[in-house]
Chains A and B, each alone.
Chain A
Amino acid sequence: MKTRTKFVIGGAIIFAVLTALSVQGLQEMTVFFYTPQEVLASPGKFENKTIRIGALVQKGSVEWNAQAIQLSFNITEDGKKFIPVYYAGVKPDLFREGQGVVVEGKMQGPRFEAHQLLVKHSEEYTVETENKKNKEDYYKSIQAQ
């Protein structure tokens, strides 16, 4: 009985320490990306720091230069505030206007220079090709908190 009690107490301590450590570590992990609003609200905080921003690609803002392999577009969360993004890389297959994306890079003045462009897929699966995804739905899937 005594050894068991010791064992339970020991296990509880290890578990508590592990939990505390992972909560600390999780702080970084839990916010995989910031939103344009957060970045625009406090520019000083993000200056010269590599960050990820998750938002929607603004309709009609995509410019793709296939010769120079340069992609530029605006991202927005609410359709009101935009961040222009510049990405020197190949356009992903699933990259579309109105699509959710996560870009990784740095703010250079008002512009975001991305070195990675990820497509954020929505949780909707459909077979209708002309089905246009509602902006509200994307807004919901991006705005996790």
Chain B
Amino acid sequence: MLYLEWVSFLGLLGCGLWIFLKLPIEASQGFPQKIMYLHVPSVITTYLAFFVVFIFSIAYLWKRELVFDQIAKASAEVGLVFCALVLLTGAIWGKPTWGTYWVWDARLTTTLLLFLIFMGYFLLRMSVNDRDKEARLASVLGIIGFLDIPIIHKSVEWWRTLHQPSTLFKVESGQASPSISPELYYPLVASIIVMLVFYIYLLLLRYQTEKRTDRLNQLLADTQD
């Protein structure tokens, strides 16, 4: 885990240096385009984090092993932090590019909805005292909450939005063709990989904490008996 910590820290530093020292300025947006290297990897990490919640919630409901719920809970918290940063970095990018921090278009609204669902997820967990019941209810909400992600991702294709369609996952005549210059594309891919490594580090750190906290509560309950 210490190893992962240093790999992700150095990776993030390396990407930062690459982005700010080597990259040319994008033609139409200018300097604020650099925010893309935070925003897009954070989006993908949010998707992955809540996908992990989805998978481990199903696993918990199926096998009823507490460890699955601990992983789901850890991933949901990390995902929520990334989701908040997606909304913030997006808003900060929107001001110089669109001329506004926020609009109620389909992409932005469904992303805010995802954030609110997982805020509710933690409120639900806090409101239940029984650990098994907490896990059961949270798993159901975690599965439902994840279903918003395909909607978010497809919102720019299904509906008319201010937010532009996907650059990275653009498909033209059945072939993947990201509409971005190679000079800007490679650092984006690197940032995504580094941020996913960083996510795994955060997930493990948070999972350790969760395991220890549950063990502590167990011990406290035993001593009270």
Contacts and interface: CB of A to CB of B under 8 A. Distances in A.
Touch A–B, Cβ below 8 Å: yes
Contacts of B26: 125-127
Interface in B139-159: 140, 144, 156-159
A90 to B, nearest CB: 9
A126 B27 contact: yes
Contact of B98 (A121, A128, A129): A121
Contacts of B104: 29, 32
Interface string A29-52: 111110000000000000000000
Interface stretch (B28-36, B47-55, B68-76): B28-36
Contacts of B180: 124-126
A125 B161 contact: no
Interface in A112-145: 116-129, 131, 133, 141, 144-145
Interface string B96-114: 1111100111100100000
A29 B105 contact: yes
A57 interface: no
A94 interface: yes
Interface residues of A, number: 33
B162 interface: yes
Interface residues of B, number: 38
Contacts of A123: 164-167, 170, 179
B160 A33 contact: yes
A108 B104 CA distance: 25
A107 interface: no
Nearest to B107: A32
B160 A141 contact: no
Interface string A65-95: 0000000000000000000000000001110
Interface in B89-142: 96-100, 103-106, 109, 140
A141 B159 contact: no
Nearest to A95: B99
Nearest to A31: B160
Which of B30, B99, B106, B157 has the most chain A CB atoms inside 10 A of its CB? B99
B164 A122 contact: yes
A26 interface: yes
A55 to B, nearest CB: 11
B181 A145 contact: no
A56 interface: no
B140 A11 contact: yes
Interface of A: 7, 11, 15, 26, 29-33, 54, 92-94, 102, 116-129, 131, 133, 141, 144-145
Interface of B: 24-30, 33, 36, 96-100, 103-106, 109, 140, 144, 156-162, 164-167, 170, 179-181, 183-184
> Top 7 nearest A-B pairs by Cβ distance?
A30-B159, A125-B180, A144-B160, A32-B105, A123-B164, A123-B167, A92-B99
13 contacts: A26-B106, A32-B104, A94-B99, A118-B99, A119-B98, A121-B97, A123-B167, A123-B179, A124-B167, A125-B26, A126-B181, A127-B26, A144-B158
